[in-house]
Amino acid sequence: MSSADPRVDFATGARLRVWSRVWRYLVVVLFSLVGWIGMYALFAVEVEDGTTPDSTPFWALAIIDPVIWLIAMALLPLRRRIPATIAITTGLLSSFSVMTSTGPAQLAAASNATHRRWAPIVAGLIAGVVGSTIYSRLVPEEFVEEFPWWLEVGGSTVGFAIPVTFGLYIGARRALIASLHDRALEAERERELQIAAAEAGERTRIAREMHDVLAHRISLVAMHAGALAYRDDLSREQVRDTAVLVQDNSRRALTELRQVLGVLRATGSEGVEPPQPTLETLPTLLAEARAAGALIDESGSVEGEPPELVSRTAFRIAQEALTNARKHAPGAAIRVRVDGHAGGLLAVEITNGAARGGSAEIPGSGIGLAGLAERVELAGGTLEYGPDGKGGFAVRAWLPWEECDE
């Protein structure tokens, strides 16, 4: 495993500091010297006492031992690339070198075990045990007391099992650190995805709120401004009243824009979100539309007070439908019907007839009805819209109205 954080690389063994490499070799050299001195010190004492027979074989073995050890030491830097091969090779080299058995072979066995693959571990352990046993048989009996073969095999097994156990512990610890690091990276990626999704949702919310709040006002302003631009039969009093309406709706549009921006900027307890319009505000909405010249027929009855989400969604449906009617069917009669009761459905239906004299030149955003569909879906309802078959347009929605237990 590789990471941008060097501390993680060091902890997981992906990279080692200089001192981490040096102290390992120093320990290997120390243990090798201890093994060599321990094996050949007895021979040196016997030679000094003059009690040994021909010492040539033993001297030859004592000289060959460091040579084999140097070869094993030269192989150790490759243990991280081919750990099993180096562990088996150094284990077999122990057949001719006690220094290799007590030094490089031990480090190679531990390094091989850190990878926690049992087949290479067992192969390296067997090679080390076999090599140590063969070496004990090569030493002349005159210089070293010979032990039963099973005792030599058992001792060699224990000698190599200790570094293997230590290597398994290091490998498990490195794997744990790597796993924790991967989990941290995964959690960070998930958090970034959540932030991106939240930002996308907030952008959608901004677009929806801006459309719902401003489209109604801007459509009124455009309608009255269009009347001023194209109608030359208006009296001065009518022109003044129309200009006042344009000014009033423009001011209200700016006020509502500030409210929306205030909601979006509010954080924690510093900003208090103003109440959103509900069905209680519907009469005001219809009155403003009538004041702008719309012909609206209102019907239906609502028994009780719907939940806030349902009531707010119903108001937005009516607001969007009225806005679209002014845009695309100016002068057409509009029929608004709202029916519902607790424990059933709240039905909202807005239909308008065919346009009289063409549609108003008010550009559409293209997201109004899509935003309504999203709102209705969030409320658990159903939305339908399209031509009514009579030259007009209809928007119908059914919202679930759960009965609240008092």
Domain 275-406 homologous superfamily, CATH: Histidine kinase-like ATPase, C-terminal domain (3.30.565.10)
- Residue 320 makes CB contacts below 8 A (sequence gap 6+) with 212, 215, 368, 369, 371, 372, 395
Q: Which amino acid is it at 194?
A: Q
pTM score: 0.43
Torsion sign across C-alpha atoms 323, 329, 333, 335: negative
- Give the helix/strand (H/E) hosting 232: none
With CA atoms as reference, report the closest residue to 215 among 322, 373, 356.
322
With CA atoms as reference, report the closest residue to 236 among 244, 325, 257.
244
List alpha helices for 4-82, DSSP H.
6-12, 18-49, 56-75
Q: Which amino acid is it at 168?
A: L
Q: What pLDDT is attached to residue 272?
A: 46
Q: What pLDDT is attached to residue 15?
A: 57
With CA atoms as reference, report the closest residue to 115 among 162, 76, 171, 160.
171
CA distance 299 to 378: 26
Q: What pLDDT is attached to residue 150?
A: 72
Q: What spatial distance separates the first Cα and last Cα of the chain, rounded to whole Å?
A: 60
Q: What pLDDT is attached to residue 406?
A: 44
CA distance 161 to 113: 10
- Domain extents for the chain? 6-190, 275-406
- Give the helix/strand (H/E) hosting 191: helix 149-230
Q: What pLDDT is attached to residue 335?
A: 93
With CA atoms as reference, report the closest residue to 106 among 34, 27, 160, 67.
160
Q: What pLDDT is attached to residue 19?
A: 64
Successive 10-residue mean pLDDT values, the chain, 406 residues? 48 58 84 81 59 64 86 88 89 86 88 87 87 76 60 79 87 84 85 79 69 70 70 74 75 68 53 68 88 86 86 89 85 90 91 70 59 82 88 91 66
Q: What pLDDT is attached to residue 382?
A: 92
